[in-house]
Amino acid sequence: MEYEFKFETTTGAGDETVQCVLTYETDEEGTYAENLKSIHYQGVDVFALLSDEQFVEIEMRGTMMLSSHLIAEADHSASVDYDMRAI
């Protein structure tokens, strides 16, 4: 099953903020097949306008943000008592 992770980062000489969507799949080993699906600047898709270096940097940042997000989500899940029998 394919999942989407949305994040914001900066790119370019002016460090402009772009909104990105990263798709990924997951199994018992972790995540895999991480790919940038879209990159928008002020509502305009700028995916094809980025240099290879910018693309790789954004994809790397997104993958690191996804990893941090999944770890935080797992930590939160482990700390919450889901025993609903008393309710």
Q: Given a cut of 70, is residue 77 above it in pLDDT?
A: yes
Q: Which residues pair with 17 in a beta bridge?
A: 10
pLDDT band at residue 73 using 50, 70 and 90 as cut-offs = confident
Q: State what percent of residues in the chain have pLDDT above 70.
A: 91
Mean pLDDT value of segment 41-66:
94
Q: How confident is the model at residue 76 (pLDDT cuts 50, 70, 90)?
A: confident
- Output the CA–CA distances (angstroms, integers) from residue 71 to 53, 54, 67, 68, in the order listed: 27, 26, 6, 5
Global pTM exceeds 0.85: no
Strand order across the 30-41 sheet: 2-11, 16-27, 30-41, 44-45
What's the rounded Cα separation, in Å, for the pair 56 and 62? 10
Report the pLDDT value the prediction gives residue 84, as an integer from 0 to 100. 57
